[in-house]
Amino acid sequence: MTDTSSEAIDKTRVHQSEAAARRRKARANAERRFQTYGVIAVLIALAALGILIFSIAGAGVTAFWQHSIKLEVQLDEAQIDPEGTRDLDTLRRAPYRTIVRDYIKGMFPEVTERRDVRTLTKLLSTGAVTELREYVLANPDQVGSKVVLHVPVSDDIDMLLKGQIDASLPESDRRVSDQEIAWVRALQDKGLIEREFNRRLFVNSDSREPELAGIWGAVIGSFYTMVVTLALAFPIGVMAAIYLEEFAPKNRFTDFIEVNINNLAAVPSIVFGLLGLAVFLNTWQLPRSAPLVGGMVLALMTFPTIIIASRAALKAVPPSIREGAVGVGASPLQTVFHHVLPLAMPGILTGTIIGMAQALGETAPLLMIGMVAFVADVPQSITEPAAALPVQIYLWADSPERAFVERTSAAIIILLSFLIVMNILAVLLRQRFERRW
């Protein structure tokens, strides 16, 4: 008896002792440390996100404007259309290169050496000649009058004007010579160089010249690819989900299908690309680089996602809805298609949009089926060679020209804004239409 009571007293003393206070303090400190680790982890993740966004946005924002030279030329009828027929073929073959060269030579009459003249013309993009030709072809009635065009400067000069080439470096270390810098400064003093919004980035397709390269062809290619993906993955995914959730008997075959779907959702995307290469291209002989094949491969990748989301949405519809429908005499299929499916639709569409957003950013399978080819035209149909937006980003990131860095970043900003719009749409859809029972 005395033993136990003295022990009890001891324990109280133990809890009030200095050692105990130290232990308590140590435990409280451990608690604080642990919570701090959590905060640090979250901060690291947020910092990674912040650095990612700011470094890409910072590198890309300059690509949205571009420097151009005011080209003020007399469209000499004798030079362009000597016979005065305004025949398109004649207009197409007119010597625009000479017109542009003579214009820029006129700015610097002191330059006579052949080599210097060539360097001088290289201040301008090769697109200057093309754009002048396009202008004349579009406005044949302007021949003989004086026109003002804004044509892009070459990519190196653009980089120089944007301050991305450091003019204080020794001449051998930069891509622009002292002579070129002097010419550019002279043009600036004459007020001929202007900064304008880079619409070429949006309306042009891919080009070897950074100052002319744009994303329009890739956007259209991605659009066609997404149309094919949606047309295949959405009906197949939803129908498979309906069968598995509403009708499938619980047996080994059904289990096998489910295991397959869960695995397909985790198979590396590049493996789907290999499947597309071996089956769609080599066995079925479908066209290479085409949005049709890209869409088919992405559909195979996306439809497990759609199935999983659709099943969750169907499961969320309470059984009372089904019982009510059956009670008024609906057949099992009528129950599902007339009553359950409409109620599950918002959830299904949300899942589909998220799956499509994933597919839109997917690159690796498209590389496998040859969508990395350089395509300078806007595709006209789903069987023509096309680029896609993420592949365009990959191609530009691979290009050595300095000016492609900012364009790659700009293309990423555009791709990310598409994705953000799609995700906001999914969130809105869920908030607006989702019902909780």
Partner 1 sequence: MTGALIVTLAVLSVIGYYMGRSKSVASVSGEVHQLHSRPGYYGFYVAIWTALPAFLLFVVWQILEPQILRAFVMGNVGPAVSELPPERVDLFYRDVVAIATEGVPSQVTPDHEAAADHYTSLKSLGTWSFVAFVMSLSVFLFAFAYRKVSPTLRARNWVERVIMGLLIVCSVIAILTTVGIILSLLFESLRFFNRIPIQDFLFGLQWSPQTALRAEQVGASGAFGAVPLFAGTFLITIIAMTVALPVGLMSAVYFSEYAGPGVRGFVKPMLEILAGVPTVVYGFFALLTVAPFIRDTADALGVATPAQSALAAGSVMGIMLIPFISSLSDDVINSVPQSLRDGSFAMGATKSETIRKVVLPAALPGIVGAVLLAVSRAIGETMIVVMAAGRSGNLTFNPLDSVTTITVQIVALLTGDQEFDSAKTLSAFALGLTLFFVTLVLNVIALNIVQKYRERYD
Q: How far is the CB of 127 from partner 1 (least distance, A)?
A: 25
Segment near partner 1 (CB under 8 A), from 2-10, 83-91, 303-311, 312-320?
Answer: 303-311
Give the list of residues 6+ apart from residue 95 with CB closer than 8 angstroms, or none.
79, 80
Beta strands 65-74; 146-152: pairing state: antiparallel
How many angstroms separate the CA atoms of 104 and 129, rounded?
Answer: 12
**Distance spanning both ends of the chain, measured CA to CA:** 62
Q: How far is the CB of 126 from partner 1 (least distance, A)?
A: 25
How many angstroms separate the CA atoms of 361 and 419, rounded?
Answer: 8
Q: Which of residues 321-350 bind partner 1 (CB under 8 A)?
A: 331, 333
Please tell me whether residue 267 binds partner 1 under the rule CB under 8 A. Answer: yes
SS3 assignment, position 20: helix
User: Both tokens of residue 14?
Assistant: 């133990």
Length of the chain: 437
Segment near partner 1 (CB under 8 A), from 62-70, 141-149, 159-167, 263-271?
Answer: 263-271
**279-305: b or e for each residue (b if 16 or more CB lie within 10 Å)?**
ebbeeeebbebbbbbbbbbbbbbbbbb
Q: How far is the CB of 409 from partner 1 (least distance, A)?
A: 7
Q: Which of 14, 48, 88, 227 binds partner 1 (CB under 8 A)?
A: 48
Q: How far is the CB of 416 from partner 1 (least distance, A)?
A: 7
Segment near partner 1 (CB under 8 A), from 35-43, 127-135, 184-192, 312-320?
Answer: 35-43
Q: Closest CB to partner 1 among 147 and 326?
A: 326
Beginning with the edge strand found earlier in the chain, give each strand of the sheet holding 193-197 in spatial order: 146-152, 65-74, 193-197
Please tell me whether residue 183 binds partner 1 under the rule CB under 8 A. Answer: no
Q: Closest CB to partner 1 among 5 and 285?
A: 285
Site string for partner 1, 385-424 (x = CB under 8 A): -----x--xx--xx------x--xx--x--xx--x---x-
Please tell me whether residue 367 binds partner 1 under the rule CB under 8 A. Answer: yes
Please tell me whether residue 249 binds partner 1 under the rule CB under 8 A. Answer: no
